[in-house]
Amino acid sequence: MTTVEIPLTTRKDWSSDQEVRWCPGCGDYNILAAIQMMMPDLGVRREKTVFVSGIGCAARFPYYMNTYGVHSIHGRAPSIATGLAVTRPDLDVWVICGDGDALSIGGNHFIHALRRNIRLNIMVFNNQIYGLTKGQYSPTSETGKVTKSTPFGSIDHPFNPISLAIGAEASFVARTHDMDRAHMQATFTEAHAHNGAAFVEVYQNCNVFNDGAFEAITGKANRSSMLIPLVHGEPIRFGDDGERGVVQRTNGHLEIVDVATVGEAAILRHDAHAEDPGLAFALSRLSRGVHDPTPIGVFRSVHRQEYGDQMTQQVNEATEAKGKGDLAQLFRSATSWTVD
Amino acid sequence: MEGGPPVTEKLDRVVVRFAGDSGDGMQLTGDRFTTASALLGNDLATFPDYPAEIRAPAGTLGGVSAFQVHISDHDISTHGDSPNVLVAMNPAGLKASIDMMEHGMVVIVNIDSFDERSLAKAGYSDSPLTDGSLHDFDVYEVPMTSLTQEVCKEVGVKPRDAERSKNFFALGLVSWLFTRPTDGTLDWIAEKFKKNELVAEANRRAFRAGFDFGETAELFHVRYEVNPAPFKGGEYVNITGNTALAWGLIAAADRSGLPLFLGSYPITPASDILHELSKRKEFGVRTFQAEDEIAGIGAALGAAYGGALGVTTTSGPGLDLKAEMIGLAISLELPLIIVDVQRAGPSTGLPTKTEQSDLLQALFGRHGESPLPVVAASTPAQCFDAAMEAARLAVTYRTPVILLSDAYLANGSEPWLIPDVDDLPAFSPDFAEETNAVDAEGNPIFLPFLRSPETMARPWAPPGNVGLEHRIGGLEKAVDAGSVSYDGANHEAMSMVRKERIAHIANDIPATALDDPSGSASVCVIGWGSTYGALNAGVERVRAAGGKAAHVHLTHLNPLPADLGEVLSAFDTVIVPELNLGQLVTLIRANYLIDAKPLSKVRGVPFKAAEIEAAILSAIGEN
């Protein structure tokens, strides 16, 4: 975590007076703590910060932040946040979703917010389960998953949220997990700095309905060998001594190899700023599930003009060209006639 | 009468209907004729009547596009029950319109299109021009296509393109027939087609040829004049309901000092509001074409949360989809305007045809106890006032408001007396900028649901103010504090507050406007929305024949005027004409225990004045 010379606020200033009501042991506590502790370092103001959420466990998040906040309806948070962000460019707008919220009922708003590149920090707490409705499979649950609504196993093929976001023309796509505060904070900070729609998938443990879903990759003992940290400009390597790495074959496929076998020079360097989303997409396909080594960090971060800025620009240009709107003129913009 | 120059006959009113194929340019022809009449000072009302398909199968009844305009030398309120003059560009246009006409009326047909194939497409086995079926009409056969092609020969356009100018020939001919000036239309052609001089010239020639044909062909022995109507002095424009509604929203934003934000998804017949507002960025208007109906209202609500005048526009199918977000807006108590330009339903229904069947949905179409104000526009021009009123209620009372228009108002037009901007109602958002309470230790705090004693409205506190940070949501909120509360007694208290705060608005709307010059009518017709014109014309007919009839027309559907029950109770018979199967009548019966009678019509077209007149006369006979 970075240090700030003059802390204007502390975590306490960002915590509301509401009792946090997630189940004891829920991964959401870690994410909340990470964000509350990070906010003082972002150089932002509480009264200019808004958390918007939909419905689900994750959606209770705004109640716990001492900022402005809206707890809205299932799946629609990105749409509400869109209207807010494009009319109030002075605000920092965070959208907190769950996997069912963002990718199932709100899938349409999610992809359109990304393609429009609206200045939103969209956090999807992915626990691969419906928690608040007590344990049905979600659009990110693995095929075959036995839940209350799939007693014989789910036959749904899951979404890969990172692939989906890249396919939806997202300009910023990242992944982190609830067991690593420093990584969460670094990732959220980068998302916040992005001028456009920033999507962060957060692997989050639901210890009641889907406990240990990510243990194979995020468990302390497994992280080094199962998480592949993506750092822009750096070779993509992992393992205790960086002994494993990712190479790209001539057919474009990525493959995990022993660095010693192929040589350091053969290891792929991560380029999050590449205009072409091909590499980011290939990285999102590297892992077929939570039992394979899985990339975390920023997959893609490219500049594209922000939506609200363009909207404001059109308003400004029209006002400059025509002068500030005048009602008396507007009413006469069709052919008028006078009766004496 | 043969051979001599035509005589000019004065008419006090006339109804002209242009009917042809969807691609024949009938809407444009009707619109130009309307503008010329408006500039002459006639009162007028229009009724564009077109199919849902952009290009329905050519020549079929389903593909007929028509435009009816009623012009007069006196105050009128409908587009006319029955055309006096029909211009039929093809057999289908004739067939779709002839049953609307009374015997003796004028029918002008483009004879070039009455070939065997076109007749068959329209479902005629024999030509109506020769089989005697039009015997009782005054029929004029004019070779519009060939004459248009003839005059366009030298212009250099292809014969097929020249043929497309035939609607201007028709416009020229009708302009001659009704002694309309030609300058305005010629100027308009020059402006509209300035990027394609060949087309402009073809249209110009076709228009002149139509006009000259009337003058020289000696086919018509009468020309008509309709004198200007005695309008109140002032400046007028001819305006459609959708344009008036859009301008009303802009005016409301201007007069309240709020930035206007529209979140919308294209849908017939509401899209023109989106189009109009998207052109007006110099007013600071932001329009957002969302990914779906839900996102349209979601973005509007988000903008309202941020301190904008949030609006979403839609029609019935979209209103269905927005229901959950409207419920959230009710729970959050934020200003929001939902415009429903009604069309015939259920489901996709008749997308271009008018109906008033969303009233009960507007009032009750959400889960839970979720009241909100409902305002309905009554004429195309009145859409302006209705939009301003919806905005005033939304902002003053921090509530979503449903504004009902319909397809008839949306596309129909009438002259609008341009108001003086300074006379328009102004209202203040009165944003919360300071804390409004103290906690147990005496520290200043902000309670987002602490209400104004006058309006019962909560503070509107967009993000940005230090010390006013607060969280709101769709979960039930504690009285005053606004924090989450699962307490049953609190829920009941909040439910009552939500009910009362909307009911309370009855104190801030006009009392029932009863139109009964006799003061002693026994029959009252009560309507709402776009039936105003037909109801008004219906009662006028009864009165002109010496009868008595009262008329009440509602703009506010929720809450209703406080004295409405009392007013209606004074009549022996209350008739409720509606373009639905009886929705307002249900409310009146339920609210006031009055034995009100429905008069229903769901044919996709407005009431005729004669239908209202007949219902009143029948009721008078029974009393």
Better-scored residue on pLDDT, B7 or B491: B491
Q: Does residue B3 belong to the interface with chain A, where contact is any CB pair within 8 Å?
A: no
Q: Which of residues 262-301 of B touch A (CB under 8 A)?
A: 263, 280-286, 288, 290-292, 294-295, 298-301
Element (H, E) at A294: strand A294-301
The average pLDDT across A94-105 equals: 98
Q: Does residue B470 belong to the interface with chain A, where contact is any CB pair within 8 Å?
A: yes
pLDDT category at B3 given cuts 50, 70, 90 is low
A66 exposed, middle or buried (CB, 10 Å; 0-12, 13-18, 19+)?
A: buried
Give the distance from residue B534's alpha carbon to the nearest chain A alpha carbon, in angstroms: 26
- The answer to whether residue A339 scores a pLDDT higher than 90 is no
ipTM for the predicted complex comes to 0.97
* Chain B neighbors of A319, CB-CB under 8 A: 281-282, 284
- Mutation test of the interface with chain A: which of B281, B443, B485, choosing the one with the most A Cβ atoms within 10 A? B281
Q: pLDDT for B279-306, tens place per residue?
A: 999 999 999 999 999 999 999 999 999 9
pLDDT category at B157 given cuts 50, 70, 90 is confident
CB contact under 8 Å between A87 and B473, yes or no, is no
Element (H, E) at B395: helix B382-397
DSSP designation for B55:
T
CB contact under 8 Å between B291 and A315, yes or no, is no
Task: Return the half-sphere exposure (C-beta side, CA atoms, 13 A cut-off) of residue A69.
Answer: 26
The average pLDDT across B500-509 equals: 98
Who among A63, A70, A314 is closest to B484 (CB)? A63
* Chain A neighbors of B472, CB-CB under 8 A: 69-71
The residue of chain B nearest to residue A321, with distances taken between CA atoms, is B282
- Mutation test of the interface with chain B: which of A13, A65, A73, choosing the one with the most B Cβ atoms within 10 A? A73
Whole-angstrom Cα Rg for chain B = 27
CB contact under 8 Å between B308 and A87, yes or no, is yes
Who among B237, B243, B302 is closest to A335 (CB)? B237
Give the distance from residue B30's alpha carbon to the nearest chain A alpha carbon, in angstroms: 16
Give the distance from residue B393's alpha carbon to the nearest chain A alpha carbon, in angstroms: 21
Taken in order B588, B590, B593, B594, is the CA torsion positive or negative?
A: positive
What are chain A's domains?
11-213+305-312 (3.40.50.970)
Q: At what angle do helices B26-40 and B183-192 cross, to 10 degrees?
A: 130
CB contact under 8 Å between B298 and A68, yes or no, is no
Q: What is the pLDDT of residue A4?
A: 41
Q: Which of A161, A139, A145, A156 is nearest to A287 (CA)?
A: A161
Q: pLDDT for A115-136, tens place per residue?
A: 999 999 999 999 999 999 999 9
CB atoms within 10 A of CB B256: 23
The residue of chain A nearest to residue B41, with distances taken between CA atoms, is A339
Q: Are B38 and A337 in contact (CB under 8 A)?
A: yes
Token pair recorded at residue B573: 């018979």
* Chain B neighbors of A72, CB-CB under 8 A: 298, 328, 473-474
Residues in a beta bridge with B401: B337
pLDDT category at B4 given cuts 50, 70, 90 is low
- Mutation test of the interface with chain A: which of B471, B472, B477, B483, choosing the one with the most A Cβ atoms within 10 A? B471
Give the distance from residue B85's alpha carbon to the nearest chain A alpha carbon, in angstroms: 26
Q: Superfamily assignment of B7-226 in CATH?
A: Pyruvate-ferredoxin oxidoreductase, PFOR, domain III (3.40.920.10)
Same topology for domains B7-226 and B514-622, yes or no? no
Q: Are A295 and A234 in contact (CB under 8 A)?
A: no
Hey, which CATH number is domain B237-422, 1.10.357.10, 3.40.640.10, 3.90.1300.10, 3.40.50.970? Answer: 3.40.50.970
Give the distance from residue A134's alpha carbon to the nearest chain B alpha carbon, in angstroms: 19
Q: How many helices (H) and strands (E) does chain B have?
A: 20, 25
What is the architecture of the domain spanning B514-622? 3-Layer(aba) Sandwich (3.40)
Q: What is the pLDDT of residue A334?
A: 86
- The answer to whether residue B141 scores a pLDDT higher than 60 is yes
CB contact under 8 Å between B232 and A321, yes or no, is no
Distance CA B403, CA B401 (A): 6
Q: Is B187 helix (H, G, I), strand (E, B) or coil?
A: helix
* Chain A neighbors of B301, CB-CB under 8 A: 80, 83
Distance CA B106, CA B86 (A): 6
pLDDT category at B456 given cuts 50, 70, 90 is very high
Q: At what angle do helices B166-177 and B144-152 cross, to 10 degrees?
A: 110
Give the distance from residue B518's alpha carbon to the nearest chain A alpha carbon, in angstroms: 31
Give the distance from residue A247's alpha carbon to the nearest chain B alpha carbon, in angstroms: 39
Q: pLDDT for B566-617, tens place per residue?
A: 999 999 999 999 999 999 999 999 999 999 999 999 999 999 999 999 999 9
Q: Which of B388, B318, B324 is nearest to B358 (CA)?
A: B318
Q: Is the peptide bond before A295 cis (omega within 30 degrees of 0)?
A: no
Encode A106-125: b = buried (16+ Cβ within 10 Å), e = exposed.
Answer: bbbbbbbbbbbbbbbbbbbb
Distance CA A150, CA B487 (A): 34
Q: Does residue B184 belong to the interface with chain A, where contact is any CB pair within 8 Å?
A: yes
Contacts of B413 (CB under 8 A, 6+ apart): B34, B44, B45, B46, B238, B239, B240, B241, B380
Return the ∠ at Cα A215 (arms to A213 and A216), rounded to 5°.
105
The residue of chain B nearest to residue A89, with distances taken between CA atoms, is B306
> pTM for this structure?
0.95
Q: Which of residues 329-358 of B touch A (CB under 8 A)?
A: 332
Who among B237, B238, B261 is closest to A87 (CB)? B261
The residue of chain B nearest to residue A82, with distances taken between CA atoms, is B299
Who among B35, B259, B474 is closest to A335 (CB)? B35
Give the distance from residue A182's alpha carbon to the nearest chain B alpha carbon, in angstroms: 28
Please report, for chain B, the start and end positions of each structural domain, with discontinuous segments joined by +.
7-226, 237-422, 430-508, 514-622
Q: Which of B540, B578, B511 is nearest to B13 (CA)?
A: B540
- The answer to whether residue A2 scores a pLDDT higher than 60 is no
* Chain B neighbors of A323, CB-CB under 8 A: 282
Q: Are A111 and A164 in contact (CB under 8 A)?
A: yes
Q: pLDDT for B97-124, tens place per residue?
A: 999 999 999 999 999 999 999 999 999 9
- The answer to whether residue B52 scores a pLDDT higher than 90 is no
Q: What is the pLDDT of residue B57?
A: 87
Q: Does residue B478 belong to the interface with chain A, where contact is any CB pair within 8 Å?
A: no
Who among A50, A315, A331 is closest to B418 (CB)? A331
* Chain A neighbors of B247, CB-CB under 8 A: 330-331
Token pair recorded at residue B120: 């068959």
Q: Does residue B192 belong to the interface with chain A, where contact is any CB pair within 8 Å?
A: no
Residue-averaged pLDDT of chain A: 95
Q: pLDDT for B349-379, tens place per residue?
A: 999 999 999 999 999 999 999 999 999 999 9
Token pair recorded at residue A66: 């001492």
The average pLDDT across B390-400 equals: 98
CB contact under 8 Å between B247 and A330, yes or no, is yes
Residue-averaged pLDDT of chain B: 95
Element (H, E) at B85: strand B85-88
Q: What is the pLDDT of residue B50?
A: 87
Q: Is the peptide bond before B317 cis (omega within 30 degrees of 0)?
A: no
Q: What is the pLDDT of residue A6?
A: 38
